[in-house]
Amino acid sequence: MVSNLLAVKGQSHMLQNGNNGRILVIKHGALGDIVQAIDGFASLRAGNPLAHIALMTSPGFLSLAKMMPWFDEVIVDPRAGLFNLAAAWRIRRYFRQDWSVIVDMQCSSRTQKYFAHFVRPGTRWIGRASGCSDPLPDFTGVNNRDRMVTSAQMAGGIVQSPDMSWLVTGAAQTDHPTVFTVGKKYAVLIPGCSLAKPQKRWPAERFAAVGNDLVSRGFDVVLVGTADDRDAVNAVLAASPDAIDLCGKTNLAGLARLLGGAAFVIGNDTGPMFLAARTGVPSLMIMGPDTDPTMSAPKGAATSWLQGAPISKISAIAAIDALESLGLKPNA
């Protein structure tokens, strides 16, 4: 397996001076990718318990990053254009610090430019930037979670299955203005996803049919999403008027709290589904043909997925059957 092969490599790249190093991890997003990097974050900390570890991420993920137990510092990168000299100078100052190693878990064109223009000569850099000290191996056929774990191993990380209790307990301790007016027994539906990929959206009438079935079994049904998902949520509400509309009313901490208390979560291939899976809640992802489940299926204690080509081939009955396999009791 790739992970076993790279564990040996990681051991040969342990930080100098024991665990008292300084490690910068770059992971800008998106939400699903950050959630899939959690095993890598935990593994990095397990192998470097005394190191100062900082995470550089995007502004939208600050609340989530601050709840994570593995980082001593969270650096917000607004990802301004490199010709925005004031913003570029501020980010450059972080890269010019005395880092033992920089672990690039984003591996984007932006981070490659950071390496080329901002990093002090001789700084260890694990990633894909041309000329970096520790180039990543070929990840063909390797799922996203294992890619992040491998990056951590190359910085001395020890493979770790993280305790995810912080995700719900931390969210519960976070101030959030929304009062969740839902019952003790509720399911969450996530009918939206990237506007750029409409082929990843299961038809609204299918979500509505599942929602109506759950209502008939005594569940409250909650719809969540961002402002970009408003049309999708409205279409579900039109056919499932008993659903509770929380679209655009949660931040990430509040969303984690809501997902963590649900009986079931069902949604498209989108970031909140990965978050739901990691809370341990029974979660069903609906996938279209452009999602590779071997690469991107969510990881959690009770997760499942259905795939259709096109996605509309997946029936509401198939989704309800899948939820029953996750523990939903059949209708009498």
pLDDT tens-digit profile of 41-72? 999 999 999 999 999 999 999 989 999 999 99
Residues 21 and 100 in one domain: yes
pLDDT bracket for residue 174 (50, 70, 90): low
Which of 112, 128, 162 is a domain's end point? 162
Cis before 310? omega within 30: yes
pLDDT bracket for residue 10 (50, 70, 90): very low
Classify 220 as helix, strand or coil: strand
Residues 217 and 292 in one domain: yes
Residue 223's CB: how many other CB atoms inside 10 A?
Answer: 25
- The residue segments making up the domain with residue 91 are 2-162
Residues 125 and 78 in one domain: yes
Residues 205 and 154 in one domain: no
Residues 232 and 128 in one domain: no
Q: Is residue 332 part of a domain?
A: no
Shortest CA distance to 72 belongs to which of 52, 57, 42, 91?
52
> For 257, left (φ over 0), alpha (ψ -120 to 50), or beta?
alpha
Residues 155 and 173 in one domain: no
Residues 129 and 235 in one domain: no
For residues 126 and 154, give the distance between their C-alpha atoms in angstroms, rounded to a whole number: 7
Q: What percent of the chain has pLDDT over 70?
A: 90
Q: Is residue 274 part of a domain?
A: yes
Residue 236's CB: how many other CB atoms inside 10 A?
Answer: 28
Q: Is residue 331 part of a domain?
A: no
Shortest CA distance to 205 belongs to which of 235, 170, 226, 229?
235
Integer angstrom CA distances of residue 22 from 6, 36, 55, 285: 22, 23, 11, 38
pTM for the whole structure: 0.86
Shortest CA distance to 164 belongs to which of 264, 35, 279?
279
Q: Is residue 248 part of a domain?
A: yes
How far from chain centre, in Å, is Cα 238?
30
Residues 155 and 228 in one domain: no
Q: Is residue 330 part of a domain?
A: no
Which of 162, 189, 218 is a domain's end point? 162
For residues 107 and 27, give the distance between their C-alpha atoms in angstroms, rounded to a whole number: 9
Residues 108 and 202 in one domain: no
Residues 173 and 138 in one domain: no
Residues 133 and 174 in one domain: no
pLDDT bracket for residue 180 (50, 70, 90): low
Q: Is residue 141 part of a domain?
A: yes
Q: Is residue 109 part of a domain?
A: yes
pLDDT bracket for residue 19 (50, 70, 90): low
* Count of domains forming the chain: 2
Q: What is the DSSP string of 41-109?
A: HHHHHHH-TTSEEEEEE-GGGHHHHHH-TT-SEEEE-----TT-HHHHHHHHHHHTS--SEEEESS--H
pLDDT at 275 over 80: yes
**Residue 332: predicted pLDDT:** 61
Which of 162, 196, 217 is a domain's end point? 162
> Tell me, what CATH number does 28's domain have?
3.40.50.2000
Backbone angles phi, psi at 90, to 5 degrees: -65, -45
- For 207-253, how does the pLDDT look when each residue is reduced to its tens digit (9 = 90+)? 999 999 999 999 999 999 999 999 999 999 999 999 999 999 988 88
Q: Is residue 153 part of a domain?
A: yes
Residues 223 and 313 in one domain: yes
